Structure 1
């Protein structure tokens, strides 16, 4: 059937000027809808980046959305499973190393990056500009920035008039009963990272002896930093060792607790900072978009956003935590020699598992 153009002319004449404008706008709207649908279906190329991350979704997702706004790059995040923590993502990346699916790993800690580097999973990337407080990992295989701090969380009422603990070794002080102190099992998460750090400073044998003494004293080993926080908040423990996000969150809610940095004295080894780390995946399918995200996440805007959200608490030696947490403005950081290779770290974890009977 052919087009009756004379009939069409009559229809346009009947519509009048206003009607023709409405018809034209409707056709344009239809074309725009079809174009957007094509974009969503993948018919129109949109730059994207796949990011594996162990950073909790309620902290990382707003930053992903902001990166999309300023870059035009679509972020496809893959989050870890809480039970497996970062280890699950690391094993997945190693398994995918022949045909990588991820472009970037953004990690809430740093200890597993060494393992990935030794497996050839991480590519060398050195941004043209490193903001203050950002450090390159060995051979430029990853970058470290910001971070949380290992702190004491202390119940004011249970502490009473006694002086608070000031050092990690105070966990062995006989003036405290074993049940007065809580710490997460040093097998996963940031407590495992802390155990590794102690082994690098003290040596493996003294570190194993330290945790063995804690176990014999009846220190309360529990399933995670949040459980430590809850025990101290509820006054079932006088103090515990946890991270700034848990401790400062309790302070912000008005709980009867306060937080302090350990080992800040002249002879103290400093408090352990758990930095974020970010690395470019070797053979990343979207390498340029990956580099743009890395440049963004280590930058000043991202640092400010993550500090406001309660994820980052330090940048370099500067404390960027919410003032309500009442932490000191400056921090003496624990200096790590990075002398343990991946095999030594694995042995340490196995030995700790033998020491700490669950």
Structure 2
């Protein structure tokens, strides 16, 4: 399950507690010796002061509305958080936009304490006045571009848009965006829907970056003849591609690597090149912010501090094949090495997310018109 948004998603959101998360720790910790988080291998920076919120709270639970994808990391982190604080974490997973939709519906009767979602949805939450300012411990180690200047959200993990293909079905393997227009992918290709899925929105943004707004719409209009149809879930495209129902789909690095290693998926990760042969991707950090009117704001602050701690950030690569949001934490395990090798030679594009939010409704309307929806 991965980063989807649909009208029915709020009904089907999966409620998880720390003990019920479906992580596969045996595989994820295989490169970490005894399975415990390892110290950063190449960080010479001094550790930040990780005192965090020291205010007392009688909260017994803290509720998180989170985009899916980090369950393997959450599983161990939430258990450790409860050991340290006595506060149990309850999590509701849903799609990128659905996190914000739930918060909007509950604005007068807030049910959750901490929100974790992707851009541009976290920025839309700020615009809708759904988050309250809080600067977590060690936020000074997170790049300025990865946190809100007013302190309403902070990146907790880095991630990037990717594509996948089935090597038995996609012969020869695609290399460029123009390759995807080939007739051999007729109804053999699917990407998650922009405006509904975070990864799908990133597809539109990447194409805008490469071809310009009008050029992106023209490309997607041509691509529609090969597209199976709308998909509110990026994650559901993984098993379809692995089984050969699809030849090509979009995804993201952390999710796709997890599927390959944990689920033994038989697809390959790739980054389409533009017309000049340059490969690129879009940065898709997981952002977290304390929800305005949260029932347990101090508990939410403590949890956010904990997720940005050196221990938690180091565990991202070992537990979930994620990348730390903190600049001073450098993954030194085999998972981190694998990610670095995969990203070699790929340009990383970071959109102006505030501008993306301003143009969002118009861009999605133009996209729907271009593809005939």
Instruction: Give TM-score scaled by structure 2 length.
Output: 0.67
Deviation of 1:214 (Å) = 0.9
**Structure 2 residue 153 is matched with structure 1 residue 139:** no
Instruction: Determine the C-alpha separation between the residues in 2 that align with 1:228 and 1:266.
Output: 28
Q: Deviations over 1:27-77 (max 9, x none)?
A: xxxxxxxxxxxxxxxxx945543322233684334322221122x141342
* Maintained 8 Å contact 2:154/2:287: yes
**Structure that is richer in helix per residue:** 1
Q: Unaligned stretches of 5+ in structure 2?
A: 1-56
- Who is 1:221 aligned against? 229
SS of 2:250 mapped into structure 1: strand
**Structure 2 residue 355 is matched with structure 1 residue 344:** no
**Structure 2 residue 135 is matched with structure 1 residue 121:** no
Residues 128 and 309 of structure 1: CA distance in aligned 2, closer, same or farther (over 3 Å) = closer
Deviation of 1:276 (Å) = 0.6
Instruction: Determine the C-alpha separation between the residues in 1 that align with 2:276 and 2:312.
Output: 33
Residues 285 and 149 of structure 1: CA distance in aligned 2, closer, same or farther (over 3 Å) = same
SS of 2:199 mapped into structure 1: helix
**1:1-358 equivalences in 2 (<5 Å):** 45-46=58-59, 48-55=61-68, 58-59=71-72, 60-70=74-84, 72-80=85-93, 82=94, 85-98=95-108, 100-107=110-117, 109-130=118-139, 132=141, 135-160=146-171, 162=172, 164-172=173-181, 174=182, 176-198=184-206, 201=209, 202-215=211-224, 217-221=225-229, 223=231, 224-252=233-261, 253-263=263-273, 268=278, 270-310=280-320, 312-313=322-323, 321=335, 327-328=341-342, 330=344, 332-338=347-353, 340=355, 342=357, 344-357=359-372
Instruction: Determine the C-alpha separation between the residues in 2 that align with 1:93 and 1:323.
Output: 37
CA RMSD of aligned residues (A): 3.7
Instruction: Determine the C-alpha separation between the residues in 2 that align with 1:300 and 1:270.
Output: 29
Residues 78 and 58 of structure 1: CA distance in aligned 2, closer, same or farther (over 3 Å) = closer
Residues 235 and 338 of structure 1: CA distance in aligned 2, closer, same or farther (over 3 Å) = same
Deviation of 1:118 (Å) = 0.9
Instruction: Give TM-score scaled by structure 1 length.
Output: 0.70
* Maintained 8 Å contact 1:259/1:325: no
* Maintained 8 Å contact 1:110/1:275: yes
Which is greater in Rg? 1
Residues 234 and 325 of structure 1: CA distance in aligned 2, closer, same or farther (over 3 Å) = farther
Residues 199 and 270 of structure 1: CA distance in aligned 2, closer, same or farther (over 3 Å) = closer
Q: Deviations over 1:238-261 (max 9, x none)?
A: 333222355324532555432123
Q: Deviations over 1:152-187 (max 9, x none)?
A: 222233345x3x434445433x47543443323334
* Maintained 8 Å contact 2:153/2:288: yes
Instruction: Determine the C-alpha separation between the residues in 1 that align with 2:264 and 2:341.
Output: 15
Q: How many residues align?
A: 306
Deviation of 1:86 (Å) = 3.5
- Who is 2:31 aligned against? none
Is 148-157 or 194-203 further displaced after alignment?
194-203
SS of 1:140 mapped into structure 2: coil
